[in-house]
Amino acid sequence: MLTDDVNPYPIQLLLNYWELCPTLGGTAASFTKKSPLTEKLEELAREGITQIATFLPWQAIETDITHALPRFLHAAAERKLKVSLIVNPELGVHYPNSGLPKDMVRTPTELALHCDQLPMTSALPPNLFALPSLFSADLGKRYYSFLSRVDSVLGDLGRTHPHSVKNVTLITTGSFWKYYRSAQRSTLSPFAGPAGDFSPAATVIFRQRVEQFFSQREFQDPTPISANRWKTKAMDEVNRRWFFQQAEDVYKHRSFQMLRKKAGFLNIREIELYTPEADPGFLYSHMLQELSGGNADWARLSTLVDHAASRSSFGSASVAGPFVHWTSLGGFRSLADTQRQFLILKSLLLMGGQGGGILLDEADWFSLSHAFRSRVSTIGKMIQYGQLQLDTSIAYFSPHSWSGGGVLWDELQAQMGVEARMLASFEALQRRAETRLTIVDPTMVITREVLERLIRWAETGRTVALPRSTLYTESARAELEKLAATSRRMDINFDIPYHLYFVGAGKLALYEWDSSLMKTSSRALVQAFVASIVALSGVNKLCKSATGKVQTIPLRPKPKSAAATIETGGRSIFIFNETSLASNTELQFSAAVAISDFATTFARLEKGQSLANSREAVEHSSSFALDLAPCGIAALALEIPSETKAEAELATPDARTSDAAALEQELVRLPEFIPENKEFAEAVDAAAVLNSVMGGMGPGESGGFPDGIDQ
């Protein structure tokens, strides 16, 4: 199994073996020395390609009487090509019904329904079809039998022809779960509204699971009847979120296990494969485009990539590296070259920077200019060696990866851009060492275990923002009260007030939340709250653009990578002009930086030359003007003089002081983030005064915490 730290192939080229039927010059033995497949493999090998990926369509495996898969693997192995086999059903596969058996997508009772009780349509060629429900018993039975067959075919091959599978990696993905969303809501805003399957089959399982989940002892405290409050109709929306996440996790885990029975000797890599062209948020745009005969809406595709990159999912045993699949089937193909290049590079940086990458059809890849391919390959290599990593400074802990996060998440994303990430798994959070702040979604059910894990995480010098909601179990509430009684407390009386507790070297902010804050009119309050919590955690957004339609993607070397040890300040920043018009923008950095051309700098680094004397002399400044061409991309290498000190602090969070003076220092910095908000500045001043007073107070003396959580 591959570990989280390895990102061997951020650029995966897709070659679907079943498409290469022997048309010309074919013989009865379709995979002999001179068939289209072998010719294609040889062509790729000549081009210097060493690794390819292919989907395993469910239907193709079920009907593979000619043993096409083993023959393909054998042919690839003969040419020393490494092969990744994408096992789970995904959208955007060039096979009828994306590879699903026909009867599974034609039976009305087997179809998935979104939250508005309508079926969801996949609109990518070779045909439109309604998504089946992964909760359907028939589908489940047949799906696991398909996995068993894959496992068996590969297991047998490993026994009889070990050479053929020596370089094979199995890829498991998250399948359709992420597409179970309403097209209407997703068009309004990507990933808006509740995601999940609301079909009758799913609802039956949901009810069963709710009964089972709340029969746990913790929910029956103080009396068994207490569990009923969790099972009311009003709680359905909350409960469905964790239920869908659990169902997805179970699906991933079972799929993973099924492939380890006979083919356990193979590497398994867990990824989250996302196809923007198949997203419900692109459905209407795509179909209107087809109706009109026009070209695709690239701005929409770009927005979808941003939103997908901001959500991180966990596989069965590791963080699922996010991949974007650009098919040659949907709107992507119709875009102008500059737009396609824009999307490819952007998705590579956003996904590759998180341990994932892009999946492209090999024909599409070779249709790009040689110069562009060469640049992208270099960036791919840098990602592979850990030189370009995207930080998750702030995590948003949500019960479901694919549902809308509400105004709190929207605001966090608006303020922090690509540095904020939504997670639904504590394991994923724990593996992100760079994360400084976690905001917990107000719809999260807080059990004692969840609370303890969050507190432990905060104790290492980080900040956790917890909602004050009714969704705490009795024991979690008691635990929090205990913590409140033994920790120093500070009240921040802002529009959305919160209590601040000092836990270990970190902080725990308990914020007030009610449903009225979900309204658009409350956006300003949420905005100020997010800004204050972010500032409190000490997270600085490295770079902001003065123009709204210009996006910045800051990247840095992995702390332990070789690149990071070459020299300090190995950061880089990519700036994308998201419009079809030329743009002039001003980049504002949180500290004075020196910028230089990315390509030149890294070319010198690659040659082993020192950066110190080679960089073009650029004056240190915190603001730079930049001209960008339509759909233009600028790449800059950054040198941040103050970084060495800051990184030293980051590397040793335990060493960070947690005393009142340090907090005061952080709080004093808050007005910088919302300079025009006098109320907030006053609140901060008051807090600073309170802070100095609190210096002499003992634990629990700061006003008590009996009202900490609403019951």
Binding status of residue 579 toward other proteins by CB under 8 A: yes
Q: Find where tokens 């070397």 sit.
A: 557
Which of 6, 250, 288, 603 forms a contact with other proteins (CB under 8 A)?
288
Which of 42, 290, 481, 491 forms a contact with other proteins (CB under 8 A)?
290
Cβ proximity to other proteins: between 119 and 700 the closer is 119
Contacting other proteins within 339-378 (CB under 8 A): 339
* Contacts made by residues 15-24, CB under 8 angstroms, sequence distance 24+: 15/40, 15/41, 15/44, 15/52, 15/53, 15/54, 15/362, 16/54, 16/55, 16/93, 16/94, 16/95, 17/54, 17/68, 17/69, 17/72, 18/57, 18/60, 18/68, 18/95, 19/94
Which of 51, 107, 148, 184 forms a contact with other proteins (CB under 8 A)?
184
Which of 40, 71, 82, 94 forms a contact with other proteins (CB under 8 A)?
94
β-bridge partners, 628:
583
What would the 3-class secondary structure string for 509-532 be? EEEECCHHHHCHHHHHHHHHHHHH
| Distance of alpha carbon 67 from the chain centroid | 36
Minimum CB separation from other proteins for residue 141, in Å? 23
* One-character DSSP codes across 564-611: HHH-S--EEEEEEE-SSS-EEEEEEEEEEEEEEEHHHHHHHHHTT--S
C-alpha radius of gyration, the chain, whole number: 26
Minimum CB separation from other proteins for residue 163, in Å? 24
Cβ proximity to other proteins: between 9 and 31 the closer is 31
**Is 430:477 a contact under the CB 8 Å cutoff?**
no
Contacting other proteins within 60-89 (CB under 8 A): 60, 66, 68
In the shown chain, the binding pattern of residues 164 to 183 toward other proteins, with x for contact by CB under 8 A and - for none, equals: -------------------x
Contacting other proteins within 95-154 (CB under 8 A): 95-96, 105-106, 118-119, 121, 123, 125-130
Residue type, 628: L
Binding status of residue 243 toward other proteins by CB under 8 A: no
595: left (phi over 0), alpha (psi -120 to 50) or beta: beta
Which of 50, 152, 208, 295 forms a contact with other proteins (CB under 8 A)?
295
Binding status of residue 292 toward other proteins by CB under 8 A: yes
Cβ proximity to other proteins: between 335 and 454 the closer is 335
Minimum CB separation from other proteins for residue 125, in Å? 4
3-state secondary structure of 397: strand
Minimum CB separation from other proteins for residue 476, in Å? 38
Cβ proximity to other proteins: between 284 and 426 the closer is 284
**Is 146:175 a contact under the CB 8 Å cutoff?**
no
Which of 187, 246, 547, 590 forms a contact with other proteins (CB under 8 A)?
187
Cβ proximity to other proteins: between 339 and 413 the closer is 339
Binding status of residue 291 toward other proteins by CB under 8 A: yes
Cβ proximity to other proteins: between 138 and 297 the closer is 297
Tell me the window of 14-22, 140-148, 343-351, 475-483 that interacts with other proteins (CB under 8 A): 14-22
Tell me the window of 258-266, 281-289, 454-462, 505-513 that interacts with other proteins (CB under 8 A): 281-289
Binding status of residue 42 toward other proteins by CB under 8 A: no
Q: Is the peptide bond before 222 cis (omega within 30 degrees of 0)?
A: yes
Minimum CB separation from other proteins for residue 18, in Å? 5
Contacting other proteins within 17-36 (CB under 8 A): 18-19, 21-28, 30, 34
Minimum CB separation from other proteins for residue 30, in Å? 5
Minimum CB separation from other proteins for residue 706, in Å? 44
Q: Find where tokens 């992995």 sit.
A: 558
Binding status of residue 335 toward other proteins by CB under 8 A: yes
Closest CA to 636 of 646, 625, 647, 644: 625
Closest CA to 80 of 13, 167, 171: 167
**Is 98:91 a contact under the CB 8 Å cutoff?**
yes
| Distance of alpha carbon 12 from the chain centroid | 18
Minimum CB separation from other proteins for residue 26, in Å? 4
CA distance 587 to 582: 16
Closest CA to 7 of 276, 328, 318: 318
Question: How crowded is residue 317: how many other Cβ atoms within 10 Å of its Cβ?
Answer: 14
The two structure tokens encoding residue 598: 């990315």
Cβ proximity to other proteins: between 63 and 642 the closer is 63
Max CA distance (Å), the chain: 89
Cβ proximity to other proteins: between 112 and 320 the closer is 112
Applying CB under 8 A, the site for other proteins has a residue count of 59
Minimum CB separation from other proteins for residue 274, in Å? 20
The two structure tokens encoding residue 625: 């003007």
Binding status of residue 590 toward other proteins by CB under 8 A: no
Closest CA to 416 of 391, 445, 388: 391
In the shown chain, the binding pattern of residues 296 to 325 toward other proteins, with x for contact by CB under 8 A and - for none, equals: -x-xx--x----------------------
The two structure tokens encoding residue 5: 């730290």
Minimum CB separation from other proteins for residue 242, in Å? 29
Minimum CB separation from other proteins for residue 14, in Å? 12
Which of 142, 166, 333, 375 forms a contact with other proteins (CB under 8 A)?
333
Closest CA to 488 of 692, 196, 259, 637: 692
What would the 3-class secondary structure string for 314-339 be? ECCCCEEEEEEEECCCCHHHHCCHHH
Contact positions vs other proteins (CB under 8 A): 18-19, 21-28, 30, 34, 60, 66, 68, 94-96, 105-106, 118-119, 121, 123, 125-130, 183-184, 187-188, 283-285, 287-295, 297, 299-300, 303, 328-329, 333-336, 339, 579-580
